[in-house]
Structure 1
Amino acid sequence: MGEIIKGKDVSEKISNDIIKEIEILSAKNIIPKLQIIRVGENKDDISYEKSIIKKMQTLNLPVDIKVLEESVSQEIFLETLKEANDSESIHGILIFRPLPKHLDENIIKNVISPEKDIDCLNPLNVGKTVEGDKTGFAPCTPSAVMEILSYLDIDLKGKKCAVIGSSMVVGKPVSSLLLNQKATVTVCNSSTKNIQDITRSSDIIIACAGVPRLVKKDWVLRGAVVVDVGINFDENGVMCGDVDFENVKEIASMITPVPGGVGGVTTSILAKHTVRACKQLTNNI
């Protein structure tokens, strides 16, 4: 059976480094701070918000929450965002998405300060992610995947990687991050033919299609590393990933579970990006 990689272990390592960095900044009277902008009372957003607050409290990293009405106008939303952009005490901004349909994300993504855009909404950060420019901010979940691979001490150079899913949220950015580490990447989507042939010849599989238990045991090369980014609920209401975990773990060398895998690391990355944004904004790099 493969080694089960728990996100908690990776998150603890990141957190220890963050605490040290915050202590150094605090000694200079610089306090990194995150602002969350949430529209409405979506239960998933509120749950994520609570997990962020809980994590940041353990790191002594303050969080400011701006909650706007579901019916908030584009004008008021942009005013709130610009206030965060202009605030010297705010270093990282996280906008919960998807936004209500009446808010134009194409406008919003160009207004958020790229220096504070810690989850890669602004096109400038998208470009920097592709280029491998470390002054930018890649999305937190793809960054969490890379942190896990780094924690496992996997040399990605020349490794064959199959990314199942091509969204701007995970699939495309994680592919760029892998390519920046000189991996050989194949991106698969719902139109990919003979996908099993691709995954069975891959050293690493990143599953981020949003389809419950899509990746079966016969899709996986023996000894492959499998990172499951999916968060789904099956017909019985049980949370599961994009990987048929119970069966795939018998053949993979390493595998992340759902829950307890990538999700917990993502919250730590949010803190890591906030601290880095603070250091860059205050010239403490």
Structure 2
Amino acid sequence: MPLLPGRVLAEKILDELRIEISSKQLKPILAAILVGQDPSSKTYIALKQKACQKIGVEFRLFKMRKNTTQKKLSAQIQNLNEDKTVHGILLQLPLPAQLNPNQAIQAIDPEKDADGFHPANLEKFLRGDPDAILSPVPAGIKILLESTGQNLAGKNALITSNSEIFSKPILKILADKNIGGSWKSCRDTDIFDATKNADIFVTACGKPQWIRGENIKKGAIIIDVGINKIAPRKIVGDVDIDSVKNRASLVSPVPGGVGPLTVAFLLKNVMQLSEI
């Protein structure tokens, strides 16, 4: 069973960005806010910083204490909104329990929203604005589907996630490719009835290896967005690769699938924002 080449595609995008940034003599600056000391968040921040250094994007990290208040977080975001040297703002999620992530995301200037999470940017994308900032995860899913080289028009796709809003840009991408799409919550009791009928299955539930061969359609394309740490040095996706390898036609691995692409498309957004 072939694996979708997320890491290879990401490296190609980063190389293209490095060349474009250099040739245009751009000086993009990404400001990242990290609240607390969550180990996974620190790892992701380090990966993003390393990618920035590789392609010529200046990375500025703003650390805040775990017990910070919503007011202090909003003030930090506003300072970055007003800083004319900063092109993109990244708020590393998840936030500590006392903070409202939606309120924080909405405080980010849409023209500096590197993650494309702001409702204004989502709305622009959904209405087909070609200049809209697309969130890196849907952008990564889009290029993985294109990398299959298959005509996917008329296929049936299912997205499972904990939040319906996560599915909206992905459903738009699918519709633009004439792929039928639907969403189900990870908590739905009849979810496996749907997964068994999906030609394309996107899972973002954060449940270690919960998708097995008996849960999918023969020949399905599976895109695994789940990232689950099951040991200090072991990360797995939502999909049990060994179990699905004789039924799925293609699977995105974890690590090395959607993850590297989200970093690459985040930096592509930063470059785009630097040209506004």
Question: Partners of 2:99 and 2:57 in 1: how far apart?
Answer: 30
Question: Partners of 1:77 and 1:235 in 2: how far apart?
Answer: 32
1:48 CA drift (Å): 0.8
CA displacement 1:184-220 (0-9 Å, x = unmatched): 0121224545433422332211111221222211222
TM-score of the superposed pair, with normalisation by structure 2: 0.90
Hey, what does 1:17 align to over in structure 2?
Answer: 16
1:21 CA drift (Å): 1.9
Q: How does 1:3-152 map to 2 (within 5 A)?
A: 3-26=2-25, 30-152=26-148
SS in 1 for 2:110: coil
For the pair 1:165 / 2:164, whether they are aligned, the reply is: no
Hey, what does 1:253 align to over in structure 2?
Answer: 249
Distance 1:196 1:69, change over 3 A: closer
Question: Partners of 1:197 and 1:75 in 2: how far apart?
Answer: 45
SS in 2 for 1:134: coil
1:259 CA drift (Å): 1.6
Range with bigger deviation, 148-157 or 224-233: 148-157
Letter in 2 for 1:175: L
Range with bigger deviation, 153-162 or 38-47: 153-162
Question: Partners of 1:191 and 1:180 in 2: how far apart?
Answer: 28
Hey, what does 2:181 align to over in structure 1?
Answer: 185
Range with bigger deviation, 213-222 or 230-239: 230-239
TM-score of the superposed pair, with normalisation by structure 1: 0.87
Distance 1:102 1:235, change over 3 A: closer
Range with bigger deviation, 45-54 or 120-129: 120-129
CA displacement 1:1-55 (0-9 Å, x = unmatched): x2112321111221122122212321xxx31111101112221111111111111
Q: Is the 8 A contact 1:226 1:252 kept in 2?
A: yes
The total of aligned residue pairs comes to 276
Unmatched runs of 5 consecutive residues or more in structure 1:
none
Q: Is the 8 A contact 1:36 1:65 kept in 2?
A: yes
State the Cα RMSD in Å. Answer: 2.3
Unmatched runs of 5 consecutive residues or more in structure 2:
none
Percent sequence identity over matched residues?
A: 28
Q: Is the 8 A contact 1:139 1:170 kept in 2?
A: no
Question: Partners of 1:134 and 1:38 in 2: how far apart?
Answer: 31
Hey, what does 1:224 align to over in structure 2?
Answer: 220
SS in 1 for 2:122: helix
1:176 CA drift (Å): 3.3
Question: Partners of 1:168 and 1:267 in 2: how far apart?
Answer: 23
